[in-house]
């Protein structure tokens, strides 16, 4: 299967070549496969944002390579094509919306691609519809909640029809409801529209919806696997400064106390099933 | 934000009037024509005509006349000061003196000049206010972009300029909110902004504006990254979702404006200027 994104021995330093050089990434080898939902987690400062910014050529490696659909991000001429493939959503929704009207903001990306007018209109309608934002079409972003603004930001990227969407802690600034809505949207885009999702987060309850996860620590890729495999190894996870999902925590605790509950549960329904079978 | 409550310049009043529905380009050009004519008006007759025409526009726009007048209120002190200055300072050699006070003397020429200048500024303000009251920001910027397009030929980066304007307009409110937050945070730590003399008050503002500027730069940086991620590379190669379309109403408006301009130019040329 052709990989959408592949990093080969990716190393990166901020202010490289100066006395203030800060090493941010060490020998990262990671692939993003078509159609998957991948979580990248790690504490603040672990390098996950720096890594994500390599995925669409915002940063270029100090050493090693990043290949997006066969195109190297080192080559400036590839950048336009790469950004069509990999869209990116950022943490603070206020700082990524451009226009004073929702609809116009969503049109911004397609307009940059130089698409014909009718095609832009169609894509904007489709993005609004897919994310259930039709009611907000003519609203100014200032009137929206943070969660709604983030949905608009996602719609803006969606309208560019990327194969892969990288979400850099999209829920960090949101309240629980906004967080749930943004997560639901990402899962839906992945399952229904077939868009590959790379989700950066430190909420473990978001990670459990992903097919695969990696954990970063101090600029190194430390763990890789399905959430189920990784959370089974609770000691290691905690060493990276991360928590377990609530369900895993409960299941593992019960398992240790001798109850017949599997220790690698991640979803609430699984836990309920297991508990019901206990009698 | 109490500061912005009384200011109508730059505020859009949504509506469905014929003036609202005109193409923004028509409105921008019309406003420009009116302003140029204002600059040449030097008799009370022309100003009565301008008043009449402005009143007709207000009537057609469906904006309550009281709203427009209220918008002029913050201008009042400036206008009064200007009027007094002109009254005492403007002189012609053969004018009659109206009255003297201390070393100042008010002349008839000064009185007329003061009246004309005040009227000019008043209508200048009214015309621009009418433009922004009836045209949304998005339409205004679209209109500007379209009107400035020919200037690309002489190297003016019109699209980029308009994009800057669009972003500035979006961030005005965000930065106003941030300013309020910073002020409140400082007040919570015991800063009393309304106490002390002028210099002390000014000094207290430094710890407010510094974080505001730093915050603005951070936002700008994040915005650039987000825009780049969405393939923005400047105005070149960009298309637009909406293109402006002139309608029959615009043609009618153009006819009205041209007729009005001809009448006004005739009056300007034939009626003796008061000064």
Nearest to A98 among B166, B173, B238 (CB): B166
Report the candidate in A71, A80, A70, A78 with the shortest Cα–Cα distance to residue A114: A80
Residue with token string 């019309």: B30
B222 interfaces chain A, CB cutoff of 8 Å: yes
B154 Cβ contact partners less than 8 Å away, ≥ 6 residues apart: none
Kindly report the average pLDDT of chain A as a whole number.
93
Q: How far is A24 from chain B (nearest CA, A)?
A: 19
Cα–Cα distance, A214 to A67 (Å, whole number): 19
pLDDT of amino acid B218: 93
Angle at A140 between CA A134 and CA A143, to 5 degrees: 95
Q: Which two tokens stand for residue A236?
A: 């290691």
Mean pLDDT calculated for residue range A40-44 = 93
With contacts defined as CB-CB under 8 Å, which chain A residues touch B230?
Answer: 83, 87, 108-109, 112, 156-157, 160
B231 touches chain A (CB under 8 A): yes
| Residue B229 to residue A83, Cβ atoms within 8 A | yes
Q: Taking residues A152-168, what's their average pLDDT? A: 96
Measured CA to CA, the distance from residue B275 to residue B266 in angstroms comes to 18
| B239–A142 C-beta distance less than 8 A | no
Nearest residue of A to residue B225, measured between CA atoms: A58
- Tell me the chain A residues in contact with residue B170 when contact means C-beta distances shorter than 8 Å: 97-100, 141-142
> B173 vs chain A: nearest CA distance in angstroms?
8
Q: How confident is the model at residue A78 (pLDDT cuts 50, 70, 90)?
A: very high
**What's the gap in Å between the CA of B57 and the closest CA on chain A?**
27
Which residue bears the tokens 């599997």? Answer: A262
Query: What parts of chain B have a pLDDT lower than 50?
Result: 1-6
Chain B residues in contact with A83 by the CB 8 A cut-off are 228-231
Q: Which of B166, B173, B241 is the closest to A107 by Cβ?
A: B241
Q: Tens digit of pLDDT for each residue in B41-87?
A: 999 999 999 999 999 999 999 999 988 888 888 889 999 999 999 98
Nearest chain B CA: its distance from A42 CA (Å): 21
- Lowest average pLDDT, out of A156-160, A248-252, B5-9, goes to B5-9
- The closest of A80, A65, A85, A74 to A113, measured between CA atoms, is A80
Which residues is A167 bridged to in the sheet? A89, A199
Q: Could you say which of B223, B230, B240 has the minimum Cβ distance to residue A117?
A: B240
Å from A177 to nearest chain B CA? 22
Q: Which of A58, A104, A113 sits opposite B225 (nearest CB)?
A: A58
Which residues face A63 on adjacent strands?
A: A11
What per-residue confidence (pLDDT) applies to A79?
93
More confident residue, B242 or A54: A54
Q: List the beta strands (DSSP E) in chain A.
A: 5-14, 22-32, 37-41, 63-68, 71-72, 86-89, 164-168, 196-200, 212-217, 220-225
pLDDT tens by residue, B226-236: 999 999 988 78
Model pTM above 0.90: no
What is the mean predicted confidence (pLDDT) over A214-221?
Answer: 94
Domain ranges of chain B: 1-139+243-275, 158-234
* pLDDT cut 70: percent of chain A above it: 99
CA dist., res. A263 & res. A246, Å (int) = 12
Mean pLDDT of A44-54: 94
Whether the Cβ atoms of residue B9 and residue B132 lie closer than 8 Å to each other = yes
Chain A residues close to B10, C-beta within 8 Å = none
Is residue B245 less than 8 Å (CB to CB) from chain A? no
d(CA A16, CA A158): 34
Tokens of B17: 């009037």
Q: Which member of A83, A100, A121 has the closest CB to residue B241? A: A121
Cβ separation A101–B138 shorter than 8 A: yes
Would you call A100 and B166 a contact, using CB atoms and an 8 Å cutoff?
Answer: yes
Does B271 touch chain A if contact means CB atoms closer than 8 Å? Answer: no
Q: CB-based contact (8 Å) between B21 and chain A?
A: no
| Most A CBs within 10 Å, among B137, B176, B231, B236, to test the A interface | B231
CA–CA dist A188, A182 (Å, integer): 10
* Inter-chain CB proximity A87 and B227 less than 8 Å: no
Query: Which residues of A have a CB under 8 Å from any CB of B?
Result: 53, 56, 58, 80, 83-84, 87-88, 90, 92, 94-101, 103-104, 107-117, 120-121, 124, 141-142, 156-157, 160
CA B272 to chain centre: 30
Instruction: Give the residue with greater pLDDT, A178 vs B195.
Output: A178
Mean pLDDT calculated for residue range A221-248: 92
Contact flag B229-A100 (C-beta cutoff 8 Å): no
């Amino acid at each position: 299967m052709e990989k959408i994104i592949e990093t080969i021995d990716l190393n990166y330093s901020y202010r490289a070549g100066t006395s203030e050089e800060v090493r941010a990434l060490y020998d990262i080898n990671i692939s993003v496969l078509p159609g998957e939902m991948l979580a990248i987690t790690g504490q603040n400062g672990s390098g996950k944002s720096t890594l994500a910014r390599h995925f669409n050529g915002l940063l270029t490696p100090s050493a090693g390579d990043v290949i997006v659909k066969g195109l190297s991000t080192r080559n400036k001429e590839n950048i336009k094509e790469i950004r069509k493939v990999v869209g990116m959503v950022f943490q603070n929704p206020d700082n990524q919306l451009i226009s004073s009207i929702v609809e116009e903001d969503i049109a911004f990306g397609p307009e940059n691609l130089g698409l014909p007018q009718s095609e832009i209109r169609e894509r904007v309608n489709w993005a609004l519809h897919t994310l259930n934002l039709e009611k907000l079409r003519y609203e100014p972003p200032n009137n929206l909640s943070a969660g709604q603004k983030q949905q608009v930001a996602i719609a803006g990227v969606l309208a560019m029809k990327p194969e892969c969407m990288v979400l850099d802690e999209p829920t960090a600034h949101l309240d629980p409801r906004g967080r749930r809505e943004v997560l639901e949207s990402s899962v839906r885009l992945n399952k229904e529209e077939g868009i590959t999702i790379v989700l950066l987060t430190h909420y473990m309850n978001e990670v459990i919806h992903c097919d695969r996860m990696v954990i970063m620590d101090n600029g190194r890729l430390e763990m890789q696997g399905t959430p189920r495999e990784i959370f089974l190894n609770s000691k290691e996870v905690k060493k990276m400064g991360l928590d377990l999902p609530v369900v895993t925590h409960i299941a593992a605790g019960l398992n240790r106390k001798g109850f017949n509950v599997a220790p690698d549960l991640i979803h609430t329904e699984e836990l309920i099933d297991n508990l019901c079978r206990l009698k | 934000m109490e500061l912005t409550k009384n200011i109508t310049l730059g505020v859009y009043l949504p509506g469905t009037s014929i003036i609202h529905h005109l193409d923004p380009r028509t409105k921008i050009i019309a406003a420009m024509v009116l302003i140029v004519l204002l600059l040449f008006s030097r008799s009370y007759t022309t100003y009565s005509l301008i008043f009449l025409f402005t009143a007709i526009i207000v009537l057609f726009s469906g904006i309550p006349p009281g709203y427009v007048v209220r918008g002029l209120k913050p201008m009042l002190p400036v206008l009064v000061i200007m009027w007094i200055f002109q009254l005492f300072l403007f002189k012609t050699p053969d004018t009659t003196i109206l009255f003297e006070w201390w070393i100042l003397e008010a002349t008839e020429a000064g009185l007329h000049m003061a009246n004309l200048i005040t009227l000019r500024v008043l209508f200048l303000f009214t015309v621009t206010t009418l433009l922004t009251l009836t045209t949304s920001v998005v339409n205004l910027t679209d209109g500007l972009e379209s009107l400035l397009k020919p200037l690309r030929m002489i190297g003016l980066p019109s699209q980029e300029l308009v994009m800057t304007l669009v972003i500035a307009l979006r961030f005005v409110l965000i930065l106003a909110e941030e300013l309020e937050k910073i002020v409140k945070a400082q007040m919570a730590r015991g800063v009393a902004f309304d106490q002390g003399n002028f210099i002390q008050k000014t000094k207290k503002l430094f710890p407010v504006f510094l974080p505001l500027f730093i915050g603005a730069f951070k936002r700008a940086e994040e915005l650039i990254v987000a825009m780049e991620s969405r393939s923005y590379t400047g105005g070149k190669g960009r298309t637009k979702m909406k293109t402006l379309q002139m309608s029959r109403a615009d043609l009618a408006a153009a006819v009205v404006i041209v007729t009005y301009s001809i009448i006004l130019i005739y009056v300007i040329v034939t009626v003796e200027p008061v000064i």
